[in-house]
Amino acid sequence: MKYEGLAKEIIKNVGGKKNIISLVHCLTRLRFKLKDESKANTNTLKNMDGVVTVMKSAGQYQVVIGNHVPDVFATIMQLTELSSSQNSEEAEVKGVLNKFIDIIAGVFTPIISVLMATGVIKGINAIILATGIISKDTGTYQVLNAIGDSLFYFFPIFLGYTSAIKFKLKPFVGMAIGAALVYPGLNQLSTENPLFILFQGTAFESPVYSTFMGIPLIMGKYTSSVIPVIFATYFASKLEKKMTKIIPQVVRNLMVPVIVLVTIIPITFIIIGPVSTWLSTLLGVLAMSFYNFSPIFAGVFIGAFWQIFILFGLHWGFVPIGMNNLATLGYDNVIILGTAIPLTTAGVLLAILVKTKDKSLKNIVIPALASSICGITEPALYGITLPRKKPFIITIICSAVAGMIMAMLGAKSYVFGATGVFAIPNFINPEVGIDSGFYAYLIAVGTATVLGFILTYLFGFKDEKDNNIKEGNESKTSVEKNIWQESILAPIQGEVKDLSEVEDEAFSKGILGKGVAINPSEGKVYSPVNGVVTTLFPTGHAIGITSENGIEILIHIGMNTVQLDGEHFIPRIKQDDEIKKGDLLLEFDISEIKKAGYSLITPVLVTNYENYLDIIETDEKEVSQEEELLKVIV
């Protein structure tokens, strides 16, 4: 397995398999639910190869991996033998907001990628219809429309499954509840004249067309609905748990689902569905009231804070609002106010890419730029904009401007899911084609993207390598003007290599820090600075050091050597030990590690390089212990 080493380290540092209650993933993050978060080694995980950062939000322990998170997830699931319907005892999620976010994230995360995919297909279909390439009566349009609508039209069935997983109900029972809500025969009951109307003349007006055992049935429109099936599966899970205790085991597999379905589905049509529908209507009314109170304020607020919501995982709380608006209104004009973030981020990144002369930074920006254009901003957020602060602030400002323009000009989205450039077709009106709302979105996003580029280029980014360190005499002058500089000695004797020559992209693209690599000729690691051993991996293959002046250094012996599980590595120090320059930290057996098939190329990095003006690398091709390897300019 390609990511087995990384997966094993993550499992170990979240407290081991026994500490994991459940695991899901989104586009870039592993979302653990742990029994005891205090058992997780957060600092170790943050400094680990292949991990971007770690966050704690809504009762979840989130390990940000990047675009290859599905592969890491699959490997962890295989190694731990976890299942998506893990039946371990749930850890308590404290706080009403955290519980709400936890439920929404648990229900929507498993289907978000398919939701985005169907949204893209529906958007493409809208484009080719609006441009006259095909018409609505062609088979091509109908097939593409069926693909695009497949998830959203039958949403209660999909949510019935994911809600059942979340609430620990048998998944197919949840699907059966969802299927009943969209069953065509029941929906046809509402085509006749109603027997009577409840709450007539209000926003909650509900016609009654039929009865169940004499009890009025309020047949709402449940296709594409969100809230009713979530509530129904929740109550079904409670009933199933009680019936499992009561029903004899010999008939339990048959009778428990029978009792749950024949009880919950009628109750859903009589009580749960109508109440949920009224709540949906109220949610829509509140969202629109917030919008109508001041569209400009709503645009600025949601646009400005959307990236912050993403940062803390709070954006999940807005998902039901957007989905509900589409189901009840046919469009959404509230949640879209934050959708400029990906392309705004792309504009900021493009400015950095154009301005910087730093090859390692370029290597980070290019893939992050591609991800942002496609709608995924986490690589840019954690790796580039947030650490540098000004680009992050500019992204917020420009997104607020975009939200304000959308609100002022009346942009509306008719499809949910796709982001980045793929979100553009979402704003094509399916009834009339391209209208003013579509152009409003283009103007808003275009303005924010261009403004993000200009502000970042002029004020938001200073190319430290270009401005502070020049060749020849300018280098000396620049160094003399700085407050101080610190030398980092070579911790290993050997041949100096450029980081770009390291096979692992986390090192070669500078994601984990700036520095060089050494191909060792001696199996000893010495301290390059005076400081403290802040991290010593149990496998002995990597050491984290913090110097007396706060410089954070990572020494990573070999590639994928974590898989040796400590064999051929002999640590001579312990974590938290104080060390001096030249102290022996570790010994390793070069010949045995090579025999095992592992590369010994060893990156030596300054991981908190963004705190300094520059990291100057040695010009020497060979270094020995006590020779200068890196110079940190402060």
- Residues belonging to the active site: 26, 556
Query: What are the residues whose beta carbons fall under 8 Å from the beta carbon of 366, sequence distance 6 or more?
Result: 353
CB 341 within 8 A of CB 306: yes
Three-state DSSP at 222 gives coil
Tokens matching residue 285: 């009314």
- Report DSSP state, residue 497: E
Residue 566 corresponds to which amino acid? G
Q: Which of 246, 318, 332 is nearest to 97 (CA)?
A: 318
CB 612 within 8 A of CB 602: no
Q: Pairing state of beta strands 531-536 and 578-579?
A: antiparallel
Instruction: Please state the length of the chain.
Output: 634
CB atoms under 10 Å from CB of 213, counted, come to 7
Tokens matching residue 55: 């966050």
Distance CA 574, CA 507 (A): 25
- Report DSSP state, residue 95: S
- Helix (H), strand (E), coil (C) string for 314-328: HHHHHHHHHHHHHHH
DSSP, residue by residue, 500-529: GG-SSHHHHTSSS-EEEEEEESSSEEE-SS
Q: Pairing state of beta strands 60-64 and 29-34?
A: antiparallel
The enclosing H or E element of 586 equals strand 584-588
CB 585 within 8 A of CB 526: yes
H-assigned helices in 426-492: 436-455, 464-468, 473-481
CB 89 within 8 A of CB 124: no
Q: Which sign does the torsion angle of CA 270, 272, 275, 279 carry?
A: negative
Residue 52 — φ and ψ, nearest 5°? -80, -50
The enclosing H or E element of 54 equals strand 53-57
Distance CA 237, CA 242 (A): 9
CB 347 within 8 A of CB 452: yes
- Report DSSP state, residue 499: G
DSSP, residue by residue, 358-374: -HHHHHHHHHHHHHHHT
Residue 460 corresponds to which amino acid? G
Q: Which of 393, 369, 395, 389 is nearest to 380 (CA)?
A: 369
Residue with tokens 């580039």: 384
